[in-house]
């Protein structure tokens, strides 16, 4: 797995950051992410290490499967990273990735940025849907094809993201980690309150106050050339 964040990838992650370590540097964040992954994955066969996805510290033709989870769009040069997936994958092995559909399918974030830009048009520059054009089926398949992968396919993965009430939705944006929370916490109290109130009105809610949204990721996979 190339890409390690605050959660084991099998658990729910909503893109806004419900918990965060308290390091004093980027290196501290990496240590925090790795420690969390090690704590959550107890299988002795699993190991975790820090590295650069564009230059993996791993041998050639070594792995049956290489998977990047919710990380590829953050790599400065995704094409270099995918070339590395092909390098370390065994001939005939699988290389795959999945990324959030920020532009349309990540409803939690889509509602946030649509409200934010309605109040502050300059916020559009921070919208991940605009910043990460990679997070669409065609660019993803293109990366795999350009890296020489064979039998390249893609598909959507959609999961429910349910919130008990508005506070359950809103609180993660006050954590300060990630583009949306950082933007929210950069606002004046009055502006942040206006954003909160607009979201409260716009979000679909049930009679019990719950908010039921969906989150879509785009996945791509291919076979390492023989």
Q: pLDDT for 139-156, tens place per residue?
A: 999 999 999 999 999 999
Helix 189-202, helix 107-119: angle, nearest 10 = 130
Quick check: is 127 in a domain? yes
Q: pLDDT for 11-38, tens place per residue?
A: 333 344 433 334 344 566 788 888 888 9
- Contact at 8 Å (CB) between 70 and 5? yes
Q: pLDDT for 210-222, tens place per residue?
A: 999 999 999 999 9
Whose CA is closest to 74, among 124, 15, 23? 15
Residue 194 sits in which domain range?
26-223
pLDDT of residue 27: 62
User: What gap in Å lies between CA 193 and CA 216, rounded to an integer?
Assistant: 28
Evaluate if residue 189 carries a pLDDT over 80: yes
Quick check: is 75 in a domain? yes
Q: Residues 116, 118, 120, 123: is their CA dihedral positive or negative?
A: positive
Evaluate if residue 5 carries a pLDDT over 80: no
Quick check: is 151 in a domain? yes
| CATH number of the domain that residue 150 is part of | 3.40.50.150
Quick check: is 141 in a domain? yes
How many domains does the chain contain in total?
1
Pick the range with the lowest mean pLDDT from 6-10, 62-66, 100-104. Answer: 6-10
pLDDT of residue 32: 85
Quick check: is 78 in a domain? yes
pLDDT of residue 6: 46
pLDDT of residue 36: 87
Which two structure tokens, joined as six digits, stand for 191?
A: 């502006």
pLDDT of residue 26: 56
With a CB cutoff of 8 Å and minimum separation 6, the contacts of 128 are 73, 100, 102, 106, 109, 113, 135, 179
Whose CA is closest to 49, among 71, 31, 61, 27? 31
C-alpha 47, offset from chain centre = 21
Quick check: is 3 in a domain? no
Quick check: is 17 in a domain? no
pLDDT of residue 4: 59
Q: Residues 9, 12, 18, 19: is their CA dihedral positive or negative?
A: negative
pLDDT of residue 37: 87
Q: Can you give the pTM of this predicted structure?
A: 0.87
pLDDT of residue 33: 84
Whole-Å CA distances, 116 to 127, 129, 130, 133, 212: 9, 13, 14, 20, 20
- Contact at 8 Å (CB) between 186 and 114? no
Q: pLDDT for 37-60, tens place per residue?
A: 899 998 999 999 999 999 999 999
Check residue 46 and report its DSSP letter: -
More confident residue, 208 or 10: 208
Quick check: is 33 in a domain? yes
- Integer distance in angstroms from the first to the last C-alpha of the chain? 21
User: What gap in Å lies between CA 46 and CA 8, rounded to an integer?
Assistant: 12
Structure confidence at residue 177 as a pLDDT band (50, 70, 90): confident
Task: Please give the mean pLDDT across all residues of the chain.
Answer: 90
């Amino acid at each position: 797995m190339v890409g390690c964040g605050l959660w084991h990838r099998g658990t729910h992650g909503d893109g806004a950051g419900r918990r965060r370590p308290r390091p004093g540097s980027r290196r501290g964040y990496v240590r925090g992410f790795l420690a969390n992954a090690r704590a959550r994955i107890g299988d002795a066969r699993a190991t975790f290490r820090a590295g650069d996805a564009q230059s993996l510290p791993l041998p050639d033709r070594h792995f049956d499967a290489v998977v990047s989870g919710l990380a590829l769009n953050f790599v400065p040069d995704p094409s270099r990273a995918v070339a590395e997936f092909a390098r370390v994958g065994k001939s005939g092995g699988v290389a795959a990735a999945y990324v959030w559909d920020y532009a349309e399918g990540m409803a939690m974030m889509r509602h946030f940025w649509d409200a934010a830009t309605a109040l502050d048009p300059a916020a559009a520059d921070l919208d991940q849907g605009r910043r990460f054009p990679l997070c669409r089926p065609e660019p993803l398949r293109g990366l795999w094809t350009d890296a020489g992968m064979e039998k390249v396919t893609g598909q959507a993965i959609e999961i429910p993201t349910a919130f008990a009430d508005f506070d359950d939705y809103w609180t993660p944006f006050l954590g300060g980690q990630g583009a949306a929370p950082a933007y929210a916490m950069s606002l004046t109290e009055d502006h942040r309150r206006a954003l909160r109130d607009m979201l409260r009105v716009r979000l679909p809610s049930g009679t019990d106050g719950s908010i039921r949204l969906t989150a879509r990721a785009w996945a791509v996979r291919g076979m390492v050339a023989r």
